[in-house]
Chains A and B, each alone.
Chain A
């Protein structure tokens, strides 16, 4: 136990100790994100992530949002277990035909108003997999999409940025 406390004390808070340019970007994006989440989602934005066929690369970066560097929860953004609790769906992958029905059902189970973000090259346009007997390609081919975050995979900062833009756009609609 002492070792744990020692480690914690020794390390301190690292959530801001990013590389200089990253740090500025993250602080800025984070502040904006927090403000918008505060305004439009009562201080808390609930995201349901759906892997609709990804290679799992995008998932790794979405995971990274929860590591202590990005710590997305401090901006009021958190990932929830059920689409019924979600304000936003973060969908990765080309939509495999085998996930098509599950994705539609998840979309239907999400209460309106809802936001859908297609993540990654695959989510945006089908990526390396395109459209085939097994793949529907872009997420927008299956459910309505509000925004895309390109990248293969998008970096955690690109994800933060994309989420921010999407909730900004919502307000102007």
Chain B
């Protein structure tokens, strides 16, 4: 059975107009589904074993569109329902896909689509900055909005409650004790044992989807680079890929390679820093300082060769803004030669240490079945048996020319997540070496041309956290009218709630760090 057979099966099971291929949306196919069959679509997709990837709404002058993206075996499908402005209701996908829950609540808060049978009627992204029946992503809503003089605190969010003798609650955040992003965590615990953890996010909602509207391609790339600073390269790449597909613009070969080199460098920098931080959370400060040192070395070379410590704004629509010269190529190779044995040695030291083993093994266990149900991505998924990586399974240039090894474990604990990240770091070294070796000659960017008509595109990139899906649509003047970047954190935050259960409260920092969701990437 070919990978795309499920798409035909799915299309024939609901009232739909036959699947179309739109060049900008490749590798996904577009399927128009009747609103009445929207729920059935999810039921059948679930039966067929599809993964729920992303959902987003869009206000078009004449109608409201709701999209849900599904995937199986590297084949993607975007299902789309069209709604009249007077009846903005659709059956929810959440009864079949837990992954859809927060996304649908976000769409409800921002686009004003009501999802019937959604099990959770509470708001999600909206706190107190705009009124309940105002929807920022509707076209009549001005980006400036009409905010109150001072936005009140959001202290009325109805958290789940636990009752029983000895049960108590610990509220944490939004301002945390360390240097980390803001969010609220509500624990219900008995003694040290966590019965339940509930997240309340949205604190760093900056209106990214709204302020994207009306931007030209270059300005959208800059904004995409600030969705989540720690994966600025991957998000900018995904946004540029979506725009380039929409306008059928080719990117020079050399630019593909430089993009991938930067994306792999970003993966290494974050993996190194986070492995150190996990070790720090179990009081192994030696490991923390060693990995922090390597991360700093790595970051400095990015600055020296590519002009920015995090390589922000180096990817532009049509290519890249910075080139590598032979001396730079040598410097990168040299650094990898020096760092590889150090990383190997440090990983071995950490893995052989009994007290680290004691703290990390079985801690924060995410069951593989649950991981699949939640649509968990990246190293969190791969530590719980989910064998998926966009670079290998839906390869985009230059990965279509490379063999990508994907480390997968089934233990599902903090130790496994660290293991995956160690293996990915070492493999990224190899990938960078191969990319440098095969770096094609030629130009590094083609001039940007906006699409001639109102075209759409998607970008799919394996960032260091996992699959990023970005959707763009241009208006007839070549400006952005819809931008939706789905960071992998959307799918991984719910996993943190689940994997904290039956762990002790003091292990929350290490569990949280082992997942390391982006608040900013999620809150948008």
Residue pair A67, B230 in contact (C-beta under 8 Å): no
Residue pair A62, B286 in contact (C-beta under 8 Å): no
* B293 is an interface residue with CB less than 8 A from chain A: yes
**Given the complex, which residues of B lie within 8 Å of A64, measured CB to CB?**
292, 296, 299
Selected interface stretch from B33-41, B137-145, B368-376: B137-145
**Beyond A67-B289, A82-B177, A102-B174, is A96–B210 a contact (Cβ under 8 Å)?**
no
What is the chain A residue whose CB lies nearest that of B148? A97
**Complex interface residues of chain A between 92 and 134 (CB less than 8 A to chain B):** 93-94, 96-102, 104-106, 127-134
What is the chain A residue whose CB lies nearest that of B142? A133
Q: How far is the CB of A81 from chain B (nearest CB, A)?
A: 4
Q: How far is the CB of A104 from chain B (nearest CB, A)?
A: 8
**Beyond A7-B290, A58-B229, A153-B229, is A133–B143 a contact (Cβ under 8 Å)?**
yes
Q: How far is the CB of B163 from chain A (nearest CB, A)?
A: 28
Give Cα A136–Cα B148 distance, bound, in whole angstroms. 11
Selected interface stretch from B75-83, B199-207, B387-395, B417-425: B199-207
* B193 is an interface residue with CB less than 8 A from chain A: no
Selected interface stretch from B21-29, B89-97, B178-186, B242-250: B178-186
**Given the complex, which residues of A lie within 8 Å of B142, measured CB to CB?**
133
**Beyond A50-B175, A155-B309, is A56–B206 a contact (Cβ under 8 Å)?**
no
What is the chain B residue whose CB lies nearest that of A155? B309
Residue pair A152, B312 in contact (C-beta under 8 Å): yes
Residue pair A69, B174 in contact (C-beta under 8 Å): no
**Beyond A7-B345, A98-B202, is A135–B180 a contact (Cβ under 8 Å)?**
no
Residue pair B349, A7 in contact (C-beta under 8 Å): yes
Which of B206, B273, B348, B523 is close to A94, meaning CB atoms less than 8 Å apart?
B206
**Complex interface residues of chain B between 27 and 65 (CB less than 8 A to chain A):** none
* B127 is an interface residue with CB less than 8 A from chain A: yes
Residue pair A55, B151 in contact (C-beta under 8 Å): no
* A76 is an interface residue with CB less than 8 A from chain B: no
Residue pair B145, A133 in contact (C-beta under 8 Å): yes
**Complex interface residues of chain B between 142 and 158 (CB less than 8 A to chain A):** 142-147, 150-154
**Given the complex, which residues of B lie within 8 Å of A55, measured CB to CB?**
226-229, 232, 520
Write the B287-330 contact mask toward A (1 if CB under 8 angstroms, else 0).
00110110110011000000001101000000000000000000
**Given the complex, which residues of B lie within 8 Å of A44, measured CB to CB?**
none
**Complex interface residues of chain A between 67 and 96 (CB less than 8 A to chain B):** 67-69, 79, 81-83, 93-94, 96
What is the chain A residue whose CB lies nearest that of B303? A155
Question: Chain B binding site: helix, strand, loop or mixed by DSSP?
Answer: loop
**Given the complex, which residues of A lie within 8 Å of B208, measured CB to CB?**
129
Q: How far is the CB of B332 from chain A (nearest CB, A)?
A: 17
Residue pair B204, A132 in contact (C-beta under 8 Å): no
Residue pair A134, B207 in contact (C-beta under 8 Å): yes
Which of B130, B175, B211 is close to A130, meaning CB atoms less than 8 Å apart?
B211
Give Cα A128–Cα B178 distance, bound, in whole angstroms. 25
* A171 is an interface residue with CB less than 8 A from chain B: no
What is the chain B residue whose CB lies nearest that of A104? B150
Residue pair B292, A66 in contact (C-beta under 8 Å): yes
**Given the complex, which residues of B lie within 8 Å of A60, measured CB to CB?**
229-230, 273, 310
Give Cα A52–Cα B178 distance, bound, in whole angstroms. 14
**Given the complex, which residues of B lie within 8 Å of A105, measured CB to CB?**
153
Q: How far is the CB of A143 from chain B (nearest CB, A)?
A: 12
Which of B136, B202, B230 is close to A57, meaning CB atoms less than 8 Å apart?
B230
**Complex interface residues of chain B between 316 and 356 (CB less than 8 A to chain A):** 345-346, 348-349
Q: How far is the CB of A172 from chain B (nearest CB, A)?
A: 29
Residue pair B296, A132 in contact (C-beta under 8 Å): no
Give Cα A63–Cα B296 distance, bound, in whole angstroms. 11
Residue pair B206, A106 in contact (C-beta under 8 Å): no
Give Cα A105–Cα B174 distance, bound, in whole angstroms. 11
* A54 is an interface residue with CB less than 8 A from chain B: yes
Give Cα A52–Cα B208 distance, bound, in whole angstroms. 15
Residue pair B153, A133 in contact (C-beta under 8 Å): no
What is the chain B residue whose CB lies nearest that of A61? B309
**Given the complex, which residues of B lie within 8 Å of A9, measured CB to CB?**
none
Which of B204, B309, B346 is close to A98, meaning CB atoms less than 8 Å apart?
B204
**Given the complex, which residues of A lie within 8 Å of B178, measured CB to CB?**
79, 81
**Complex interface residues of chain A between 36 and 56 (CB less than 8 A to chain B):** 49-56
12 A-B pairs with CB atoms under 8 Å apart are A3-B348, A54-B204, A56-B520, A59-B180, A60-B310, A67-B295, A68-B296, A82-B177, A99-B174, A101-B154, A104-B150, A133-B207
Query: Which residues does B use to contact A, with CB under 8 Å?
Result: 127-130, 136, 141-147, 150-154, 174-175, 177-182, 202-208, 210-211, 222-223, 226-230, 232, 273, 286, 289-290, 292-293, 295-296, 299-300, 309-310, 312, 345-346, 348-349, 518-520, 523
